[in-house]
Amino acid sequence: MSEFLTQWQEAAHTTLGLFWMAFWAFALGYLISSMIQVFVTKERMQKSMGKTGPKSVALGTFFGFISSSCSFAALSTTRALFAKGAGLIPSLAFMLASTNLVVELGIIISIFLGWQFVVGEYVGGILLILAVWLLVKLTCKKEFEEKSREHAKKAEGGDNQANSKEKSWKDKIVSKAGWHQVASRYTMEWKMVWKDVTIGFTVAGIIAVFVPTEFFQSLFIGAGQESNSFLQILAQTIVGPVAAFFTFIGSMGNIPLAAVLFGQGVSFAGVMAFIFSDLVVFPVLRIQAQYYGWKMAIYILIVFLCALVGVSLVMHYGLDLLGHLPDASGFQSMTDREFFNIDYTFFLNLLFLALTTAFIVWQYYKKEKSMSINRSLGDWILLSLSIVAYGWLAIGVAVLPFF
């Protein structure tokens, strides 16, 4: 019992330490994302993504890049674009880009995993979009796409709003109202991801402390070995999405857990497949089914799975060929890291904590309504798990040290 309590305390400490390492990166990423979303006008987005072609797919990718990293926000925006006439492939490009190519995700990955994984995320994200484009082009019939579009229009219901002409970015950036929009958008970004982040970091801390290496070696075949055969790499790349399917964790919350997996010897391909799998988790599948019907939801799931497994393998062997494949043997364990030093992280966290507090106070002082979030069953589950996670952390940090 004493050993369990000690491990509980260590797991809670690891979770808080991981978040302390990443907080400024989250805040910086969301600040950049919020500024782009407010100051970059999107009047032509829907008109530009109608026909499937290089230009429309590139625009879908670009608009995804400047959008939110929250998986559920990406789903909602993708549905709106698709229902209003955007092609299926540009819409899927938008969805993939908004969860794989955004700035904040790259910053978090660089902190926990290193530059090779950043390259894997961005180059792999583009390859992922190209692979999905090819697969959908070869397998999706026009009638199936249009039937799903009709379903999306019904699902959108009263969400359509008549948009007045947007102000230019020059007008917004020099106005108080424009920066208040940035504050509101920034606050909403945190509202959309705090549950995923809470659960993701808590699970990462628990797994880092409680789960033995032997478990990862049995789950991810060949994990921890100096070299793996192609079949072992392929098996790990398939297991990655399967493990992610049941996590309920979004893209930002998955990164510390991905770092734990890599530290336990899971291959680069297996870790990248796990990171890429934020759009094949069960809550996303269920929401996709509500938007487009179960046939299209399962079709998108299969296409994404095939694409991410293939791209993860390509990135793995591509980096290996170039001699830049990261080596887990020199990777520092999550539990061995020094988290709370007085260094640049400390001062950046203080800066962005002050900024975040100011934005939240400003938004609520103005008493302006923020974006409403419809709570689904999955969201209620995440909320409940988040409350449990906070209880776990509170006991581990504030109570157990006195025993």
DSSP state of 224: T
Q: How many folded domains does the chain comprise?
A: 1
Q: Is residue 368 part of a domain?
A: yes
Q: How confident is the model at residue 163 (pLDDT cuts 50, 70, 90)?
A: very low
Tens digits of per-residue pLDDT, 342-391? 888 899 999 999 999 999 888 877 655 544 455 666 678 888 999 999 99
Tens digits of per-residue pLDDT, 198-215? 887 888 788 878 888 778
The kind and range of the H/E element at 161 are none
Q: Is residue 236 part of a domain?
A: yes
Q: Is residue 361 part of a domain?
A: yes
Q: Is residue 286 part of a domain?
A: yes
pLDDT score, position 271: 92
Give the integer Cα–Cα distance in Å for 314 and 119.
12
- Give 160: exposed, middle or buried? Use CB within 10 Å, 0-12, 13-18, 19+: exposed
Decide: pTM greater than 0.95: no
Q: Is residue 95 part of a domain?
A: yes
Q: Is residue 112 part of a domain?
A: yes
pLDDT value at 41 more than 60: no
Tens digits of per-residue pLDDT, 55-110? 888 888 888 887 765 666 677 778 777 877 778 898 899 889 988 887 878 888 98
Give the integer Cα–Cα distance in Å for 260 and 332.
10
pLDDT score, position 364: 76
- The domain in which residue 285 lies consists of 19-153+174-402
Q: Is residue 188 part of a domain?
A: yes
Is the CB of residue 260 less than 8 Å from the CB of residue 219?
no
Give the integer Cα–Cα distance in Å for 201 and 281.
17
Q: Is residue 382 part of a domain?
A: yes
Please tell me whether residue 58 adopts helix, strand or coil conformation: helix
Give the integer Cα–Cα distance in Å for 10 and 401.
10
pLDDT score, position 193: 74
Amino acid letter at 197? V
